[in-house]
Amino acid sequence: MSIGSILNVSLNALSSYQLAIDVTGGNIANVNTPGYTRQRAVLTATGSVNARSEAAQISVKVADIERIFDTYTENQVAQQQQKAGYGDTRYSLLQKVETVFDETTGNKLNDAFNRFWEAWSDLALHPDGKVERDALLAAARTAAEMFNSYGDQIYDLQLGIDEGLKDSVAQINSLTSRIAALNKEISSLSARGGETNLLRDERGLVLKDLCRQVSCHWVEDANGAVNVYLPNGQAVVEGIGSRDLALVKNGQTGFQDLVLKENPQVVLNDFLAGGGKGVVGAYLDVRDGLLPDYEDKLNELAKTFMDAVNDVHTGAYDADGNLGERFFVLTDENSTAYARNITVNGAILSDPAKIAASATTARDGEKAAEIAALKDRLLMGGGSATLGSFYASLVGTIGRDAAAASRDADYQNAVLTQLQNQRESVSGVSLDEEMMNLMKFQMAYTAAGKLCRVADDLLETLMKLVD
Amino acid sequence: MTIRITDGMRYEATIRNLFVANTNYGEAMTRLASQKRINRISDDPLGLSQVLTLKQANADIGLYSDNIGQTNSWLAETESKLNSAMDLLVRASELAVSQASATANASSRKIASREVDVLLDGLLSLANAKLGDRYLFAGTRTDTEPFRRDYTAAAVDGPYAAPENTYQGTVTKGGTYTGTENRTFVVKIVKGGDEGEATYQVSRDGGKTWSAESAAGDLQNTVDLGDGVTLDFSAGEFGAGDIFRIEAYAAGYYRGNADELRVAVGKNASTPYGVTGAAAFTAQGGGEVEVFQVLNDLKKALEDNDAQGVADQIDKLKAAQDQVSLAVSRCGVRANRLEIARNNLKDLETSLAQRISDLEDADIAELSVKFSAKEAALQASYLVATRLQNASILNFFD
């Protein structure tokens, strides 16, 4: 035991508290940094006390700079990001669908239908009327164009999703290669016993971004590298290497399929869709599940509408005594996309006299009345619904889907917020706490300085004895 | 347990609360501005489906009411023409009664015959009256002038080939029409091809119902349409759906047909409107008296100074009056039926409008209260946000 050792203790304490203040400063500086995990200088006492030899050497050191986090919560946040990404994307897509079918203000298909039936009914009363024929053609064109516009807008949404997928894939590829790069730094640094806290923070953040985009899971290996797998077990990050995703056009659907760049034969769509996870999952679900479903119903409606009108029309006589032609035709006769292709027969458009309204060669208008009465016929759903009620229920279905998507997005985000709060509560920086720590360490630093002064005084006293 | 509340949590929570309050405020404002409860279909999908169905029903009602409105004027016009015709017939009766008596003589009958002539003109113009450009009394042949003043022998008009026909050969009619009412015959080619291959069907009611399909090659022979009318087709190429029309007129004065015009007044409910000339003025459509014949006979008897001939017409004129009067009352009955239908529709319309409004429209009073509440919530959120920086230990350092 010596005065020198007191100076030594004082030195240890000064440098330890300086480091602790440094760490606190780092925390304060990063109070708003996303993904930052607060750090703490772990102070431990060193030295030993040997009372018998009257020797005591107790000092302090910073044993470790600890990263305060909870792996379980971190993982949960990442997992929940997948569901929140899915929910948000699905809702924003369904909002667009909802706008297509926005019947709240009228002037959509429901009105077009009503006007179409009304025009036939008017024609039934005035089978010779030029005005009534022109009005009917206008109403018929509106109805056909409304179908076209619905069909086109659904198709455009699908194309828009393809564009979104391109962005997502680019983002996923950059995120996976970033994870691989971080893996490399972390494993080489930790092999040399280095400090990897900040790198891990960054990797956690990148991983969360990746989770938002695509359904995946990951495992950390012994070197500290994380391997990321797609739901089918395909690794996209393995150690320090990553595999890129790519898009190839599906010849049948005309839309983009998701594949692994190095293995374009295996289509990953089915693995990524359906689980309710990730932006990509939502894209695929909506593009290949919901939208085709709506489109099928719309096509069914357009086809039934077209066939029913044509059926009566071709059995009726026009103003010149000809048998009627088909009233509605398809711009592409081979297409099954009836909604996008339905149009009024050009021959009738250019010559309204060809509208066939009568059951006999006299102008009785009976067939026009029969067409007007199609609105009440149970033509849809195997004889359970009229054209109008089928459409109303389609709009209802879309509304319900959108409402459900909205609720789901809200719920998933609420859960995410909850989990983020938990994470934040463990790992986030509290300025109040850091301030207290700062005061605490500052005081200790001052005290250590005082200790140094005391040792100095002691030494001086000792030296004076010698004089 | 105490939870560590970090600064990040506090700010995040405040921002989120601001968003929520803003969204709610915005929604309440949209509703208040549009005064509608449903502004997007997801606001109330079930309600919106119902609104759409109700609007369809509402459009139906509009359509039926419109139909009834238009037919009402047709019926009123028909009734007024028939009443005028009635007056003419009453006058003719008076003349017949007075000129059949012994006090009448050749010169008074001559004068009376001129009056009957005028009456005939009057009746003709009434029977050929139009509403817009459609003849009131032509049955469904509303584009054909229905009556002729003079007796016309049975005739066959046509054949008329439809303009879109493939067949370019000549069709020759033959025979004499022996039917008792006007009829439109239609020949439709079922299978195309040359005369040896093509088959046809014949309709006796203007194209509504069809005979059995002929055998191939039958077009090479004379086609018998029935009632004495035949057609001969020259060789040529026929197309499926080619239409040939033949108008056959029974002897007499009428050129229209006996088909009644109908109007839809409800789901699967249609009602005839108007009265055919056949029923009102001829013996073809359920009536018994050829009114024009009777007047012509009366005129002739008067011109010929044939007292017995004049007397013979008195009963017939009475029967003619009965016939026209029956037509008038039929108009009344039909107008009545339309009126009842219209009243029913009106009741329905009111209740539908109410239901649509219930589903679609916002309750303004309730909405205003809610809006104020949302506004207060938003203001409170702002207040909290401004207070946030006070809650820090930093404010207590000097």
Helix (H) / strand (E) containing A256: strand A256-260
Kindly identify which residue of chain B lies nearest to residue A364, measuring between CA atoms. B140
DSSP character string of B30-56: HHHHHTBS-SSGGG-HHHHHHHHHHHH
Looking at residue A174, what is its pLDDT? 96
Residue type, A295: E
A454/A234 Cα distance (integer angstroms) = 66
Helix axes B291-303, B307-360, angle to 10 degrees: 150
Contact A392 B63 (CB under 8 A): no
B300/A129 Cα distance (integer angstroms) = 42
Substitution target in A40, A361, A429, A430 with the highest count of B β-carbons within 10 Å is A361
pLDDT in tens, B25-40: 998 898 888 888 888 8
pLDDT in tens, B197-255: 888 888 888 888 888 888 887 878 888 888 888 888 888 888 888 888 888 888 888 88
CA distances from B12 to A101, A180, A202 (A): 36, 31, 20
Contact A104 B12 (CB under 8 A): no
What does the block give as tokens for B8? Answer: 């990040």
Contacts of A396 in chain B (CB under 8 A): 41, 45-46, 48-49
Helix (H) / strand (E) containing A236: strand A235-238
Candidates A125, A403, A420; nearest CB to B42? A403
Highest-confidence segment of A448-452, B163-167, B194-198: A448-452
3-state SS, residue B91: helix
For chains A and B, count residue pairs whose Cβ atoms are closer than 8 Å. Answer: 212
Query: Rounded to a whole number, what is the distance in Å from the CA of A316 to chain B's nearest CA?
Result: 9
- Contact by Cβ (8 Å): B223, B168: no
- Contact by Cβ (8 Å): B338, B72: yes
B175/B223 Cα distance (integer angstroms) = 11
Compute φ and ψ for A440, nearest 5 degrees: -60, -50
What does the block give as tokens for A103? Answer: 């019947």
Candidates A126, A392, A406; nearest CB to B53? A392
CA distances from B220 to A340, A405, B231, B238, B382 (A): 47, 70, 11, 12, 95
Confidence of residue A276 (pLDDT cuts 50, 70, 90): confident
Kindly identify which residue of chain B lies nearest to residue A94, measuring between CA atoms. B42
| DSSP letter (8 states) at residue B136 | T
Q: What are A260's strand-pairing partners?
A: A245, A263
- Contact by Cβ (8 Å): B54, B354: no
Mean pLDDT of A246-270: 90
Tell me if the bond preceding A127 is cis, omega within 30° of 0. Answer: no
CA B224 to chain CA mean position, Å: 34
Query: Rounded to a whole number, what is the distance in Å from the CA of B308 to chain A's nearest CA?
Result: 43
Q: Where are the beta strands (DSSP E) in chain B?
A: 130-131, 134-135, 147-152, 155-161, 171-174, 183-191, 193-194, 199-203, 223-226, 229-233, 237-238, 243-249, 252-254, 261-266, 269-273
B244/B233 Cα distance (integer angstroms) = 11
| DSSP letter (8 states) at residue B257 | -
Interface of A with B in 31-50 (CB under 8 A): 31-32
Contact B7 A393 (CB under 8 A): no
Query: Rounded to a whole number, what is the distance in Å from the CA of A467 to chain B's nearest CA?
Result: 48
Identify the burial level of A452 via C-beta atoms within 10 angstroms of its C-beta, where 0-12 means exposed, 13-18 middle and 19 or more buried: middle
pLDDT in tens, A103-135: 888 888 999 999 999 999 989 888 888 888 999
Contacts of A393 in chain B (CB under 8 A): 49
Substitution target in B41, B188, B393 with the highest count of A β-carbons within 10 Å is B41
Identify the burial level of A409 via C-beta atoms within 10 angstroms of its C-beta, where 0-12 means exposed, 13-18 middle and 19 or more buried: buried
Mean pLDDT of B180-198: 84
Helix (H) / strand (E) containing A426: helix A387-427
Contact A399 B245 (CB under 8 A): no
Within B184-286, residue ranges assigned H as helices are: 277-281
Helix axes B45-100, A109-125, angle to 10 degrees: 10
CA A368 to chain CA mean position, Å: 50
A445/A128 Cα distance (integer angstroms) = 105
Looking at residue A57, what is its pLDDT? 77
**Pick the residue with more confidence: B283 or A379?**
A379
- Closest C-alpha to A82, from A416, A425, A424, A421: A416
Q: Which long-range contacts (CB under 8 A, 24 or more apart) does A50-54 make?
A: A54/A1
Q: Which long-range contacts (CB under 8 A, 24 or more apart) does A216-223 make?
A: A216/A82, A216/A278, A223/A186, A223/A187, A223/A190, A223/A191
Mean pLDDT of A59-72: 88
Candidates B39, B46, B56; nearest CB to A104? B39
What does the block give as tokens for B178? Answer: 């022996």
Contacts of A386 in chain B (CB under 8 A): 56
In Å, the largest CA–CA distance within chain B is: 139
Looking at residue A53, what is its pLDDT? 67
- Closest C-alpha to B276, from B286, B288, B265, B291: B286
Contact A403 B206 (CB under 8 A): no
Query: Is B70 an interface residue toward A (CB < 8 Å)?
Result: yes
Tokens 């080489």 locate to A188
First vs last C-alpha separation in chain B? 32
Task: Record the pTM.
Answer: 0.84
Contact A396 B67 (CB under 8 A): no
- Given CA atoms B334, B338, B339, B340 in this order, what sign does their dihedral have? positive
pLDDT in tens, B38-66: 888 888 888 888 888 898 888 888 888 88
Interface of B with A in 193-232 (CB under 8 A): 205-208
Query: Is A425 an interface residue toward B (CB < 8 Å)?
Result: yes
Contacts of B4 in chain A (CB under 8 A): 425-426, 428, 430, 433
Helix axes B7-34, B364-387, angle to 10 degrees: 160
**Mean pLDDT in chain A?**
90
pLDDT of residue B285 exceeding 80 = no
Mean pLDDT of A185-195: 86
Q: Of A322-336, A413-427, B278-292, B367-381, where does mean pLDDT reach its minimum? A: B278-292
CB atoms within 10 A of CB A426: 17
Looking at residue A69, what is its pLDDT? 86
Interface of B with A in 313-372 (CB under 8 A): none
Identify the burial level of B303 via C-beta atoms within 10 angstroms of its C-beta, where 0-12 means exposed, 13-18 middle and 19 or more buried: middle
Contacts of B60 in chain A (CB under 8 A): 117, 375-376
Q: Write down the ipTM of this complex.
A: 0.81
A254/A288 Cα distance (integer angstroms) = 11
3-state SS, residue A245: strand
| DSSP letter (8 states) at residue A116 | H
Confidence of residue A1 (pLDDT cuts 50, 70, 90): low
**Mean pLDDT in chain B?**
86
